[in-house]
Structure 1
């Protein structure tokens, strides 16, 4: 402790258990350390020495003087800065027989961040040592005989006779680790963990590690060999090798009947995983990112206890051993193995739950034994362009997810018999797919069905009684003619159909899907009708586009939740069902390019409507805005050449922010814009018969006013004078306009652009137009005056 000196321990010889001494960099010299009398504290079991800062001054003398008692069982050292470790680590007990060391009772030793130590004492002579960890000893370059014994022994001896766990971590300069031939090494070793030793070239396992159960080697980029003695470690249970990019081979794993887990990752030069003989206990086998791997030993075929097999990023692996009788296999995941031709499932894989195969470009076959895997829950196949068929999926009563994508040559998805648990079926970009098995009609638990980019698919099985189906999405299936919804699809929430050019019918069972929330139909030019939407009280979004032959959008009553109605490019559309009038929660109504649409239902009491956008509806005569459209923010109408009336209800839309009217030549007037305090943008163009733009007072937020090609326009309402926030005023091709309201106090006005207003006589710029930057006036042949306020426009940039 910072408040105590080591001499406070001098008389505490009954101290027992664990003692941690921190801040040893504060100890002045060997005399102060010696006063701790640790060697006399025989009841101590565990000692922790800790320097909180690296120091090289007296730390070696201090540690030498902190000699522990001979009965110590655990010693941990942190941040020691000396170049060598203390002599008492290998010193014989005073007066004892030769070979009896001071630390002979030590069972655990950790040396952490001893960054200046260049060598290691003969720790192999510690007869009781079971756990040894060397971490961050960055100046140790070699582990040799001096690590095992001191050379005084004659004949063959055992080194580390009791050691069970040995950890080497972050020994960044360790290049050489030698075995010793004069001794038996690690006879009891169970776990060897080597990590972050980037210069280490070899792990010298001899044939004496007969007890080894766990071997983990990671981040040793220069490692080129593992000692052949590994082949005798037949009690091995876990083998993990990670990021050893220079490792070309590993010793044969022959008869490793206890091996449970093999995990190899990013060993880019490894060519073979040599599993041989009977590996009957293997449960997990994972190989990732081994680009040169060409072979997995046939012993894998004997691993009938295997539960998980994962292969990924093994670009040169062309085959794997046959999987027959793998009755415990639950997860098979293969990805990015482009040379793999066959997944050899031969049979009796009765516990298989997940089969995922991704990006195996040359894969042409999945073994027929898959048909016996009737407990399969997930089957995902993606980017296997050479796969032309998959085994029959008959009686797969546990299958929940079937996902197939980018399998260009696949012709049939062979769903047969009851797949009663199927919840998701997604098929994407299977160009040759022509059939989905009739067994699809049986999965009454189906929640999601997505079919996309299957241009040869002309039909799908009947969907009747799919009471759990929530999402049905079909796109780019150009040969599909019918969506066979027969009924009892009562949970359907989303129906999206797009780019199905031959689709002519959606069956009437859709009318029972009254919980539908979204209906989107796009680019189905042969579709002439859709089932009635009566009582669809949950429908929020209805979006229909590029359905050229559709004549009616049959909105019935009680569509009370409808928020968005978008219809575009439906050339034959002549009617929208009167039920739209009940959709008083509507927020967006967009109609575009429906040239045969002559009327729309009344919009009375649509208090939630925010956006109304109508364009290229050439036969539309009236926009029937009733009262109480109080939330309307944007009204855009363009290219409705027969439009003659906008309902007076517009006058109640005082929260309107944008009003854009374009190319409606029959429209001669618009409702008064009185009290429109939120209006920011007013844009009116190509209105040949419009005579007045009725801007009333309190349009105080107006920022942009654009008027063009209104040839009969003679007046702009005087309320413009109150729009002192105006930033842009553009008037173009209004030959009958004689005057405009005074622009007095328009301190925000930046752009004033007036052109082809032949009868305009005055541009009434008053004072305080101090922000004006651009003033353009052209082709105003009667203009005789520009207001004197121009003189105050000192920020003007263009005139």
Structure 2
């Protein structure tokens, strides 16, 4: 019956794109692939799980893109796919097969007799076809991008694809290439191939024929690949090399600008003696035994004579990111970070106690992100000396007690965002934040130095303000928030047992507010109508975890709202039930309402 329905759904002749998803018939209708569809450019067949044969898409004269996914009953691709025309797929540029679980063989079109099967094909991708074996079409001289993933029985031959610019081969039986012929590849990714032929050669032998490479990805290599002859290489991605301890500088080409390393547990130091001067980006992820970035000449990770993170003017490093390296204790003890550094990101390094002495010389820094480093106790001095700093984000550093002296007493003219949250032992906030005229987003916790911070005043041009763990709200209510005329978002969370009314009489909220969140106040009972009457721009109101809250402004005060969320406030949730709750008439006009975890629709 599904086949009859699809037959009757024959599309208009001018159709340009066709997608068939979830069709359950055994055979796709004959109109799909009819050459009369002269304008058809894109065809997608997805999850047609009962179909055993592909339609004759080769007959479509203008077809440029084909995507076939999840057709798990197809065992062979051959003449039925090419159709009956003399020149199948005359302008096809992109062909993609994915998740074809029973596909065993791709048969060439016998009647072509030397004519190219895909004269314009540039991109061929075959993904998750575990039974596919034999060979792929070889006479595709136009092919530029070849991606083969998780085809366990397939030996991929690239001997005839002389125009390839990008090649990705992952988890296949093997890779065949043509010895003594240089390819013009720019992007090469080889992971999980059991054999490299001719002669089962290693990656070293293979790479000598790809001298034009710009990007190289290799996984699971057992030894250090020789890279110095790849004089055009710019990006190197390394995954799960079991014996990689560090990179000898002499083996890295001078053209190399970016290195990404993941899952190399033997790596203890990124490099020996100094960072390669050409590198602009380093990313290290999940290297369990990484101790430092640069090893000293005497074998130690850090000393007063070590260049470590070098001061050398030749260093061009701009981006440094280290994730999930639990043995990393410090970046540098006495030597500054590279002067060219713009982006510093350290995430989930549990042993990190120290970053560097000072940021005084890092005037190019734009972003500092330090997340989930529970042993970090302080930040370097010199934050006030970073004129290009745009974002400072410190999150989940539960041992961080203080910032070094200096704060922001000098104006950091480009700073747009400060996020200091989930730092339980923080005693004081950086001084001088009221000087930051460019600051737009501020997220801070309540701490012992909160009164001092409030005394200085808020930065004048804030757009978003989030204050967490308030133990006493009174200083905040008396500090003149209404003077923040640009404030659009306010989030207040706390434990103040004295807060019963919000906002209290002495607090005037900025009229510019669009979004307001009130959270975690154990004794809050009332939202004041008077406090909301001037919030004519308020669109989103979020009230969370206020178990005693029982009152919200009556009808008319919440007219501007388009979103309302009330969660873990059992008394108020009961009074806002659709149709029968006491406050339903006050909120029934709001298009998007959530009570608890449930979206409420008007009855």
TM interval, short-chain normalised: 0.5 to 0.7
Is 2:348 the counterpart of 1:524?
A: no
Q: How does 1:602-681 map to 2 (within 5 A)?
A: 602=455, 604=457, 606-618=459-471, 622-623=475-476, 625=479, 628-641=483-496, 671-673=506-508, 676=511
Determine which structure has more spread, i.e. the larger CA radius of gyration.
Answer: 1
CA–CA distance in structure 1, aligned partners of residues 367 and 291 of structure 2: 25
CA deviation digits over 1:322-365, x for unaligned, max 9?
84x65x444386657854334779xxxxxxxxxxxxxxxxx994
CA–CA distance in structure 2, aligned partners of residues 753 and 285 of structure 1: 64
CA–CA distance in structure 2, aligned partners of residues 329 and 602 of structure 1: 67
CA–CA distance in structure 2, aligned partners of residues 283 and 722 of structure 1: 67
CA deviation digits over 1:229-288, x for unaligned, max 9?
x8xxxxxxxx85559xxxxxxxxxxxxxxxxxxx9998966459999xxxxxx9999987
| Contact 1:674/1:698 (<8 A) preserved | no
| Contact 1:616/1:639 (<8 A) preserved | yes
Is 2:223 the counterpart of 1:389?
A: yes
| Contact 2:322/2:345 (<8 A) preserved | yes
| CA distance 1:222–1:411, change in 2 (3 Å) | closer
| Contact 2:183/2:212 (<8 A) preserved | no
CA–CA distance in structure 1, aligned partners of residues 142 and 527 of structure 2: 84
Q: Pick from 398, 403, 419: which aligns with 1:548? A: 398
Q: How does 1:403-418 map to 2 (within 5 A)?
A: 403-405=237-239, 407=240, 409-417=242-250
Aligned match of 1:223: 109
Return the offset for 1:580: 1.6
CA–CA distance in structure 1, aligned partners of residues 525 and 341 of structure 2: 48
Return the offset for 1:291: 8.0
CA–CA distance in structure 2, aligned partners of residues 619 and 316 of structure 1: 62
CA–CA distance in structure 1, aligned partners of residues 146 and 411 of structure 2: 58
Aligned match of 1:600: 453
| CA distance 1:376–1:433, change in 2 (3 Å) | farther
Return the offset for 1:684: 8.6
CA–CA distance in structure 1, aligned partners of residues 501 and 427 of structure 2: 20
Aligned match of 2:416: 563
Aligned match of 1:341: 195
Q: How does 1:31-50 map to 2 (within 5 A)?
A: none
Is 2:332 the counterpart of 1:484?
A: yes
| CA distance 1:287–1:772, change in 2 (3 Å) | closer
Is 2:345 the counterpart of 1:496?
A: yes
| Contact 2:488/2:512 (<8 A) preserved | no
SS at match of 1:508: coil
CA–CA distance in structure 1, aligned partners of residues 359 and 519 of structure 2: 42
| Contact 1:671/1:694 (<8 A) preserved | no
- Structure 2's unaligned 5+ residue stretches are 1-34, 37-57, 62-80, 91-105, 295-307, 572-578, 591-601
| Contact 2:328/2:349 (<8 A) preserved | yes
| Contact 1:663/1:686 (<8 A) preserved | no
| Contact 1:498/1:522 (<8 A) preserved | yes
| Contact 1:415/1:436 (<8 A) preserved | no
CA–CA distance in structure 2, aligned partners of residues 693 and 295 of structure 1: 71
- Structure 1's unaligned 5+ residue stretches are 1-111, 114-134, 139-169, 175-192, 198-219, 231-238, 244-262, 276-281, 346-362, 642-661, 735-748, 755-767, 774-796
Is 2:203 the counterpart of 1:366?
A: yes
Q: Pick from 316, 319, 336: which aligns with 1:468? A: 316
Aligned match of 1:579: 432
CA–CA distance in structure 1, aligned partners of residues 490 and 436 of structure 2: 18
Q: How does 1:78-477 map to 2 (within 5 A)?
A: 172-173=83-84, 195=88, 223=109, 240=116, 270=134, 294=155, 317-318=173-174, 320=176, 323=179, 328-331=182-185, 338-342=192-196, 365-367=202-204, 378-382=214-218, 384-385=219-220, 387-393=221-227, 399-405=233-239, 407=240, 409-417=242-250, 419-438=253-272, 441-443=275-277, 445-461=278-294, 462-464=308-310, 465=313, 468-477=316-325
CA deviation digits over 1:512-568, x for unaligned, max 9?
222322211101112112212122222221111111221223433222322221112
CA–CA distance in structure 1, aligned partners of residues 531 and 191 of structure 2: 72
CA–CA distance in structure 2, aligned partners of residues 697 and 223 of structure 1: 74
CA–CA distance in structure 1, aligned partners of residues 211 and 258 of structure 2: 16
Aligned match of 1:752: 582
Return the offset for 1:610: 2.2
SS at match of 1:695: helix
| CA distance 1:639–1:665, change in 2 (3 Å) | farther
Return the offset for 1:475: 0.9
CA–CA distance in structure 2, aligned partners of residues 287 and 709 of structure 1: 58
SS at match of 1:510: coil
Return the offset for 1:497: 0.9
CA–CA distance in structure 1, aligned partners of residues 247 and 558 of structure 2: 71
| Contact 1:569/1:592 (<8 A) preserved | yes
CA–CA distance in structure 1, aligned partners of residues 89 and 231 of structure 2: 48
CA deviation digits over 1:723-771, x for unaligned, max 9?
48388999x999xxxxxxxxxxxxxx996359xxxxxxxxxxxxx9897
Return the offset for 1:454: 1.7
Aligned match of 2:39: none
| Contact 1:603/1:626 (<8 A) preserved | no
CA deviation digits over 1:692-713, x for unaligned, max 9?
95936952637879897889x9
Aligned match of 2:359: 510
Structure 2 length-normalised TM: 0.57
Higher relative contact order (CA 8 A, sep 6+): 2
Q: CA RMSD in A?
A: 6.0
How many residues are paired up? 458
SS at match of 2:492: strand
SS at match of 2:453: coil
SS at match of 1:635: strand
Structure 1 length-normalised TM: 0.45
CA deviation digits over 1:76-128, x for unaligned, max 9?
xxxxxxxxxxxxxxxxxxxxxxxxxxxxxxxxxxxx99xxxxxxxxxxxxxxx
CA deviation digits over 1:280-318, x for unaligned, max 9?
xx9999987698665969xx7xx9x97869766697654
| Contact 1:488/1:513 (<8 A) preserved | yes
Aligned match of 1:167: none
| CA distance 1:519–1:265, change in 2 (3 Å) | closer
